[in-house]
Amino acid sequence: MTSVRDTARAPGSIALLLDWIDALRSADLDRIRTLLDPQVTWRGLTDELACDGREAVISAIEGQLPMCMGAEALELAVAPDHLILGTRNQSLPDPPGVSLAGQIYNVYELAQGRIREIRDFAARKDAFRAAGLDREDEWR
The structural domains of the chain, ordered by start, are: 4-130 (3.10.450.50)
Alpha helical stretches, state H, 26-131: 29-35, 54-62, 124-130
- Residue 12 pLDDT level (bands cut at 50, 70, 90): low
DSSP 122: S
Give pLDDT tens digits for 82-96. 999 999 998 888 888
- pLDDT tens for each residue of 13-31: 899 999 999 999 899 999 9
Q: What is the model's pLDDT at position 93?
A: 83
The verdict on whether omega for the bond into residue 66 sits within 30 degrees of 0, i.e. cis, is yes
Amino acid identity of residue 10, one-letter, is A
Give the Cα-Cα-Cα angle 119, 101, 20 (nearest 5 degrees): 40
Q: What is the rounded distance in angstroms from the CA atom of residue 131 to the CA atom of residue 68?
A: 26
> How confident is the model over 117-138, as pLDDT tens digits?
999 999 999 999 999 987 655 6
